[in-house]
Chain A
Amino acid sequence: MANVLEVKELSKQYSKVLAANKISFTIGKGEIFALIGPNGAGKTTTIRMISTLIKPTAGNVLVDGHSIISEPDKVRECITYLPDEAGAYKTMTGKGYLKFMAGIFADTKNQADEFVNRASEMSSLGERLDEKIASYSRGMIRKLLLSRAVMTRPKLAILDEPTSGLDVINALEIRKMIKKLAHEDGMSFLLSSHNMLEIEYVSDRVGIISGGILHTVGRIDELKERYNAANLEEVFEMVVNENEVP
């Protein structure tokens, strides 16, 4: 099976910080991959490079065979990206926002309508889609953005902390939705999260990152076995402590 995402020795040097240091991993079709790591580990930096927002200082990424360096336009057609703590245009209505974003992704009017319908349904916001986004709660905005991110059925959806700001019920709903989209529709997901419970439930494989270095990659049961731990949280703690820079 061809990999949807191949990250090869990806590095990013900010003016002072080496935020990503030779990170390599792959994501297969229909696979849900989660990057976990403490604050400032380099998750967002890695995700932003894959999303073609910032350029790596070394290494490369192939999305569906397209390089983020030489063919960023092609890459952008295969992905959608949901930034953490993202907002939406407050003066628009929920529906207006979906229409605008659909217009950006779709090639025809029919396709755009299809995207909007799909997203409207998935957001489960109902009537409130006709209200201004300024009147939405944080959770509502998150749901709107999430349904926007998957409405185009991209080959790879990149979600930075997808369920932050959502209550337990809504978070559960979102997780189910992600799982369904991956396993039934064959969409691939790259997630980052601080919620180990969520990661254990939703992801197929995880990568543990800290200090810009990807220390471990593997299936969750594999990792638990390798580190002789009861759950992912323990694995995470061990890996991070093990690699802590003095």
Chain B
Amino acid sequence: MKFLNLLKKELRELINKQMIIGLVITFAMLLAIGQITSSVMDDVGSDTGTVNICDHDKTDYTKQLIKAVSDAGFEVKELEGDSSDRAQLLQDLDVENLIIIPEGFTKEVTESGKSGVIEKISSMQSSSALASLNDKSSAAVEIMENTTKQYIMTKNGLTAEETALIDSPLSINEVTVVKDKSAAISSETISSLISTQSMVIPIVVFILVMFTSQMIITAISTEKIDRTLETLLSAPVSRISVLFSKMLAAAIVALINAAIYMLGFKGYMGSFLEGEIDASVIGEALTVNDIMKDLGLKIGVSGYVLVGLQMFMTILVCLAVSLILGALVNDAKSAQTVLMPIMVCAMIPYLVSMIYDINLLSPAVRTLLYAIPFTHTFTAMNNIMFGNMTLYWGGLAYQVVLFIICMFFALKIFTSDKIFTISLNFGQKRKLKKANK
């Protein structure tokens, strides 16, 4: 009864306007990012790309070249125009890429025995990898080159089979193997997919860690500063129930947040996973989802349960550590200061896991990173995906141990004088003593 009363009060303090607004904004942002990403992916996937060609030579041979390009499935647009200022030319023609076949090209290739010159102009609009995937003129130029190669070889008396062999002496079947499963897709494609996916989980974890810690530290420190804690602890309720009501309330709010983030995240990933990959990348049109499933990289319900378990443990560790930190605070300013160590602990593995594969770092650095409990949360998804279950369970066990240790100290502080006597603010105490003399 009394515990419910306490819990209700804590929940009411935590669930306020700011929190709800923050939650809605984050959720909307995740969905929006998902929409943007999937529309970019659609562009890459569906657009066969228009190849713009300015043919200044206009011979049968150049016509043949252009036909070869359009036969390969590209949409070819022939344009007229010339300007020595290439930027101006692109602008005049209102295109982003252009291939120019100069006058005399055919003559050079077919008669003089020299190599012909083709000019390929593309305007660079962003350095994004997705944008460069969109550039079809490189592929078109390659086709022209091959056609010319073939023409020259045939002219020099080679049979069709011979030219084909020289043209591609090796054929490469790209296969990516994950554990015992394989799929016909390049590992670059897969890892770029995964990295997009594993970029979002750390963001959710990071927000969650900061949010939970902030909640508990604020809840405890404001009660200390306002002296409401003294009133509460002199009342007929046990200290443990006061403590647990705070923890439970924070955990509930954190879980609501996590659930909503994950929902937003699912919206994000959903729009992304359903997107089709360009047929030319993997041979036949497949959704990313299918490929991930083929490779066993798509984690099922049990996988999500494990990720959830890991997140829950992270929240508990956060709660326990924040209880201790909150107890150290005696004024509003140090409430901000004590949040710093948690922020740093969450920031380091967050940044590192975004850039490197932690398992490939040197043992010393790796140990250091694994000593930070939140690292295990950031790597959990990857560990589950790639079946590194020892690492996953090890990380979880480490967090459990850490939680027990922190809880032990937190309880010790709260059930003794320490909650009222310890303080980080040595300066203030000294001042107090001086005033007393």
Contact = CB atoms under 8 A, between A and B. Distances in A.
Given A40-B436, A79-B234, A80-B234, A48 B420 contact: yes
A113 B39 CA distance: 59
Interface stretch (A25-33, A99-107, A117-125, A163-171): A99-107
Interface in A76-115: 76-77, 79-92, 100-101, 103-105
A245 to B, nearest CB: 10
A86 B231 contact: yes
Contacts of A101: 231, 235
B2 A103 contact: yes
A87 B226 contact: yes
A89 B226 CA distance: 8
A201 interface: no
A77 B237 CA distance: 9
B227 A81 contact: no
Contacts of B2: 103-104
A104 B5 contact: yes
A237 B435 CA distance: 19
A86 B230 contact: yes
A228 interface: no
A55 B435 contact: no
A73 B420 contact: no
Q: Contact size class for A? A: 20 to 34
A40 B435 contact: yes
B16 interface: yes
A52 interface: yes
Contacts, number: 82
B232 A55 contact: no
Contacts of B421: 14, 54
A163 B289 CA distance: 70
A39 interface: yes
Interface string A126-158: 000000000000000000010000000000001
Nearest to A79: B234
B228 A86 contact: yes
B234 A104 contact: no
Nearest to A78: B236
A19 to B, nearest CB: 10
A76 B233 CA distance: 9
B182 interface: no
A91 B435 contact: no
Contact of A86 (B1, B12, B227, B233): B227
Contacts of A53: 230, 233-234, 417, 420
Contacts of A21: none
B230 A77 contact: no
A40 B434 CA distance: 10
Nearest to B2: A104
Given A55-B417, A87-B226, A76 B435 contact: no
A53 B415 CA distance: 9
B60 to A, nearest CB: 83
A51 interface: yes
B5 A100 contact: yes
Nearest to B437: A40
Interface of A is mostly: loop
A91 B19 CA distance: 14
Contacts of B6: 104
Nearest to A141: B226
B436 A104 contact: no
Contacts of B227: 83-87
Contacts of A83: 227, 230-231
A135 to B, nearest CB: 15
Given A39-B436, A85-B227, A89-B13, A104 B420 contact: no
A196 to B, nearest CB: 20
A226 to B, nearest CB: 27
Contacts of B232: 104
Contacts of B238: 73
Contacts of B417: 53-55
Contacts of B233: 52-53
A88 B226 CA distance: 7
B425 to A, nearest CB: 15
A82 B231 CA distance: 6
Contacts of A73: 236, 238
A104 B237 contact: yes
B12 A104 contact: no
A44 to B, nearest CB: 10
B317 to A, nearest CB: 27
Interface in B132-167: none
Contacts of A84: 227
Interface in A40-83: 40, 48, 51-55, 73, 76-77, 79-83
Nearest to A107: B1
A104 B236 contact: yes
Interface string B230-253: 111111111000000000000000
A54 to B, nearest CB: 4
Closest 9 CB pairs of A and B: A40-B436, A87-B226, A103-B5, A81-B234, A86-B227, A54-B417, A51-B234, A83-B227, A83-B230
28 contacts: A39-B436, A51-B234, A54-B417, A54-B421, A55-B417, A73-B238, A76-B234, A76-B235, A80-B234, A81-B231, A83-B231, A84-B227, A85-B227, A86-B228, A86-B230, A88-B226, A89-B9, A89-B226, A89-B228, A90-B226, A91-B12, A101-B231, A103-B1, A104-B2, A104-B232, A104-B236, A104-B237, A105-B236
Given A101-B235, A104-B2, A104-B237, 18 more contacts: A40-B433, A40-B436, A51-B230, A53-B233, A53-B417, A54-B421, A55-B416, A83-B227, A83-B231, A85-B227, A87-B225, A87-B227, A88-B228, A91-B12, A92-B9, A103-B1, A104-B232, A158-B234
Interface of A: 14, 17, 39-40, 48, 51-55, 73, 76-77, 79-92, 100-101, 103-105, 145, 158
